[in-house]
Amino acid sequence: MRPDPVTSGAFAAALQNRDLPPPDGLSRPGGKPATRRFAVYRNNVAVSLVDALAAIYPSLQNLVGEEFFRAMAHAYVLHNLPTSPLMFTYGANFPAFIETFAPAGALPFLPDVARVERAWLDAFHAEDRAPLAPQALGSIDPDALATIRFEPHPASRLLKLPHAAGSIVGRDRAGQPLDGLDPFMPEAVLITRPAFDVSVTVLTVEACAFLKALMTGSTFAEACDSAENATPGTDIAGLLTLTLASGAFSDLRSPETRKPS
């Protein structure tokens, strides 16, 4: 009698839970149980997923050390199998998991470091698009500039975090020491990929307000008001220079072409 076929649900459950036996219907040639082979396969899957997380979150691993990171990643893997064949999408909720991982509680900035690294990877894999050329504003009627809206580049990410995670990741990936860095300082971080390299920029309060307004569909005038409210007397010309140099936007929209919210 031929054994019942292995269901995907039973196979996934057995992969995640080491206390479960191989799923019914899984056997070696000749019909013998595949207990040992499945155990090896289950271990290889776990190791490969931990390796994937280490590649996605290298600064996080550098902060806590390889042994601690792999233990934390393994705890995550036990309850989170991939849902896509694209491995770069794996571990999207790893930052949230770290918040619940008790041994990491003494370092509360770790989840934010992971959020920056996740955004870095998402920016790296985002759609290619040419960044907005600085001269594009030159063709805009000065009287109409106030009503212009900016189209965010697909790779742009803006994070407001309670910890200095942008500085931590930026320094670590540049091979710079973290000496003197206070990890408990709040930061706003702009992550972009205007060409082939992802950049991580720590923003001032007014720059964050300005860019957030533009990225969420506000007009240029409204973004200027947001920056002024954040820091009275702010340098709008300097913010505009930063905006164009960052590659955070890819196009301009007139009021008539505003996208629905």
Residue 3: is its pLDDT beyond 90? no
pLDDT for 221 equals 96
Which of 18-22, 191-195, 251-255 bottoms out in mean pLDDT, i.e. has the lowest? 18-22
- 93: nearest Cα among 107, 79, 103, 109: 79
Q: Which domain holds residue 130?
A: 115-261
The reply to whether 1 and 98 lie within a common domain is: yes
Residue 4: is its pLDDT beyond 80? no
The reply to whether 251 and 134 lie within a common domain is: yes
CA angle 3, 4, 9 (to 5 degrees): 135
The reply to whether 257 and 143 lie within a common domain is: yes
* High-pLDDT (> 70) share of the chain, %: 80
How much of the chain is helix, strand and coil, in % rounded to 5?
50, 10, 40
Q: What is the dihedral of CA 121, 123, 124, 128, to 10 degrees?
A: 160
Q: What is the dihedral of CA 66, 72, 78, 79, to 10 degrees?
A: -140
- Mean pLDDT over residues 5-21, rounded? 54
CA angle 168, 173, 179 (to 5 degrees): 45
The reply to whether 68 and 24 lie within a common domain is: yes
Q: How far is CA 179 from the centre of its chain?
A: 25
| pLDDT tens digits, 108-142 | 999 999 999 999 999 999 999 999 988 888 878 88
- Number of structural domains (the chain) is 2
Is the entire prediction scored with pTM above 0.85? no
- Mean pLDDT over residues 21-49, rounded? 60
